[in-house]
Amino acid sequence: MEQSHRTQSVTRLLRRWGDGDRQALDELMPVVYDQLRKLASRSHTLSATALVHEAYLRLVDADVDWQGRVHFFAVSARILRNILVNHAKANRRQKRGGGARKVEFDEALVVGPQSSKQVLDLDEALQRLAVHDQRKSEIVELLCFGGLTYDETAVALKISPATVDRELKLAKAWLRRELARSV
């Protein structure tokens, strides 16, 4: 399916779903499944399929006035982040420390089998960043957890792509410093 048609289809299905048409959700998921799976596959020790299915269950119960494709993926990013953080917290409770090592910001974005602590460190740093600058935190979340492009992030936050780029550079510098402190 062509990108423009896919975007229109997602927006149309989201509107139908928002209007109470539960069948629209069944039609929507195959259209967005590959994108959600791509995001999930680079995100954590959970299998991408398990992560997408958990996100799906949360999306089904979400009471959101969908405003289009970008809004859907922004909400999906928040849901994926929450699932990953909850999973990392559960792993930490099971393993309780040991073997900590310094993690750079860019490395924290690529989450692998031994990364529960990294996910938690990044989430805590993003929470601290949100206290200082909510928009920078949202930019990182949309780009890193949501897989949105600079243009899509700009649309979601109603700012220019140049502002996304500038704010991301500042956010990454701030997060690198915070992650270095957490070691």
Residue 20 backbone class (left: φ over 0; alpha: ψ -120 to 50; beta: rest):
left
Q: How many domains does the chain have?
A: 1
| Sign of the alpha-carbon torsion through 45, 60, 39, 172 | negative
Radius of gyration of the chain (CA): 17
**Which range of residues forms the domain containing residue 145?**
3-181
Q: What single DSSP character describes residue 42? A: T
Tens-binned pLDDT, residue by residue, of the chain (183 aa): 455 556 668 888 888 888 888 888 888 888 787 777 776 666 555 677 777 778 888 887 777 888 888 888 888 888 888 888 888 777 766 654 444 444 444 444 444 444 677 778 888 999 999 999 999 999 998 888 777 889 989 988 999 999 999 999 999 999 999 888 876
Residue 99 pLDDT: 44
Q: What is each CA distance from 18 to 13, 21, 31, 167, in whole angstroms?
A: 8, 7, 17, 32
Residue 103 pLDDT: 45
Q: Is the distance from CB of 175 to CB of 122 less than 8 angstroms?
A: yes
**CB atoms near residue 55 (< 10 Å):** 22
Distance of CA 56 to the CA centre of its chain: 14
